[in-house]
Structure 1
Amino acid sequence: MMLGYYTRRGWYDPEALQVFDRRQRGGRCRFAHGWNRRGLTAWWAAALTGVLFTHIPGQFAGPLGGLAGGVDIGLPLSLVVAAALFLALLWLYPEPRGVYGPAGARLARTAQVPVPPITGPGAEPAGVPAAPVG
Structure 2
Amino acid sequence: MESYGTILTRVYTSRAQIPVGGATVAFTQRGHEGRHILLAVRVTDANGRTAPVQVSTPNASASESPGTTDPFSVCDIWAESPGYELLVVENVQIFPGTQTLQELELIPLPENTATLLPESPVNIPPQNL
When the two structures are superposed, what TM-score results if normalisation uses the length of structure 2? Answer: 0.25
When the two structures are superposed, what TM-score results if normalisation uses the length of structure 1? Answer: 0.24
Question: Which of the pair has more CA radius of gyration?
Answer: 1
Higher strand share: 2
